[in-house]
């Protein structure tokens, strides 16, 4: 989910009439995670597939937030509360242990290999 990684509890009370500001401290991309620690009042721009930054526990959808220029620099105005865990994928939720990912004999080409890399091992069966 594209949006902003935050501490979910800190968004409680956010609405269209009372947007809550968060300090924008960086971004997390697939393959290029945010290296810092998210503190109280911080937000990190995050794209689908990126790991959740340390200190964050929820993602505010981009559609309910807007970037603004605040007194201390770039901020994100959040207009919808998100509870902890919202819009956060869990390790293992998409594939079950022992589940077959590909049919035997399937030829992998560069464009089809990408989505399977997280499950690959040196000894794939």
| pLDDT tens digit sequence for 53-70 | 999 999 999 999 999 998
Whether residue 122 has pLDDT greater than 60: no
Three-class SS state of 114 = helix
CA dihedral over 19, 20, 26, 28, signed as positive or negative = negative
pTM of the predicted protein model:
0.75
User: Which tens digits make up the pLDDT trace of 92-112?
Assistant: 667 777 877 777 887 777 776
Say what the alpha-carbon torsion angle 68, 22, 30, 89 is, to the nearest 10 degrees.
Answer: -130
Residue, of 49 and 77, whose pLDDT is higher: 77
Q: How far is CA 107 from CA 18, 48, 110, 122, 125, in A?
A: 54, 27, 10, 17, 14
């Amino acid at each position: 989910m594209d949006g902003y990684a935050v501490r979910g509890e800190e968004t409680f009370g956010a609405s269209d009439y009372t947007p809550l500001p968060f300090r924008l401290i960086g971004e997390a991309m697939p393959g290029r995670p945010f290296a810092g620690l998210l503190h109280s009042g911080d937000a990190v721009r995050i794209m689908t597939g990126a790991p959740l930054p340390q200190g964050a526990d929820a993602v505010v959808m981009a559609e309910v937030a807007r970037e603004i220029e605040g007194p201390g620099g770039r901020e994100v105005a959040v207009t919808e509360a998100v509870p902890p865990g919202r819009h956060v994928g869990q390790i293992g939720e998409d594939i079950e242990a022992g589940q077959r990912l590909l049919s035997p004999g399937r030829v992998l080409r560069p464009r089809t290999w990408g989505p399977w890399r997280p499950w690959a091992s040196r000894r794939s069966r």
